[in-house]
Structure 1
Amino acid sequence: MHHGSTERHVGRDTYREVVGRFATGVAIVTTRLDGIDHAMTVNSFTSVSLDPLLVLFCAEKVARFHDAVLEAGVWGVSVLPASMEDASRFFAHRGRELDGQLDRWAHDRGESGVALFTDALATLEARTTAVHEGGDHSIVVGGVTALGGVVDGRPLLYHQGGYKTL
């Protein structure tokens, strides 16, 4: 098996290039705290366990979303179709106005009160069960409390620093 060149120096740029070769799906994680919606684009969403049903995502500690989701303790995940690249870009942008930020995209409220995007390929809701240290991020693990919205469609993917689809 051929492995290409091996970079001995482990630095940020090389790290980004290496992990960027792993294609991921894209999701928007949402939470609601004190009547205010918070949302963040992630490509770090992962299924963890079938027994019990657990999922995780990673939240950057400096992001507003980090403290909001930890305090709220509940969150939603909307798995994005290729048609929602605009939403992915919007919710990846830091420091945007929170008020009315969801208005451009159709959404409903889940059982926990979090926003779930109507056009998502699938949605789920979770309640935080553990938060682990992860350098400049926190690894947020949650028990799944609701599943829904499963539809067929082309997924939005992230690979080598850009959006792709199948």
Structure 2
Amino acid sequence: MDPGTYRKVVGLFTTGVAIVTTRVGDIDHAMTVNSFTSVSLDPLLVLFCAEKVARFHDAVIEAGVWGVSVLPASLEDASRFFAHRGRPLNGQLARWSHHRGDSGVALFDGALATMECVTTAVHDGGDHSIVVGGVTGLDTPSDGAPLLYHEGRYKTL
């Protein structure tokens, strides 16, 4: 199978866009994901996938807690920013209004939905890890059109 063809085919599946955050010591880490999904209602579980070579991967595994901010179209700039590797860690969240959840992770104030999670399992997924978390907090801080990703481009409803 050709990886380019595979990427094109799976890119036809429209996804929402979220930023996953974690905190190690006093350093915030954040990463844009479209590999986020609900897993279970009993118990409440969600998952996202993190590339093993990304610095976010080791940070979220070490921290054991993470936040999810489901993005509206108005936060496309944040999605683009947190999708790029090698950003300076210090002050990276300063451009966007956010608050700390009970677990200490950053949650975006303009998000359509936010969740706080504690890691319950990490599974091998090839060049990614599948990080499963139990939901410990939920909120719907904002409304608006969701940010979508389809065929390698951002889109909205």
Q: Same fold (TM over 0.5)?
A: yes
Give SS of 1:78's match: strand
Partner of 1:50: 41
5+ long unaligned stretches in structure 2 = none
The yes-or-no answer on 1:113 pairing with 2:97 is no
**Alignment TM-score, normalising by the size of structure 2:** 0.99
Bigger-Rg structure (1/2):
1
Q: Report runs of 4+ in structure 1 exceeding 4 Å deviation.
A: none
Q: CA RMSD in A?
A: 0.6
Partner Cα separation in structure 1 for residue 51 and residue 44 of structure 2: 24
CA distance in 2, matches of 1:148, 1:64: 27
Structure 2 Cα separation of the partners of residues 142 and 55 of structure 1: 6
Which residue number in structure 2 is paired with residue 29 of structure 1?
20
Residue equivalent to 2:76: 85
CA contact (8 A) 1:30 1:75 kept: yes
Three-state SS of the structure 1 residue aligned to 2:29 is strand
Secondary structure of residue in 1 paired with 2:6: helix
Where does structure 1 lack aligned partners over 5 or more consecutive residues? 1-9
State how far apart, in whole Å, the 1-side matches of 2:120 and 2:14 are.
Answer: 27
Q: How far does residue 149 in structure 1 lie from its aligned partner after superposition?
A: 2.6
Aligned residues: 157
Q: Tell me the CA shift for residue 162 of structure 1.
A: 0.4
Aligned residues with identical type, % of pairs: 80
Of residues 109, 119, 136, the one that matches 1:128 is 119
Equivalent of 2:90 in 88, 99, 115: 99
**1:3-14 residue pairs with structure 2 within 5 A?**
10-14=1-5
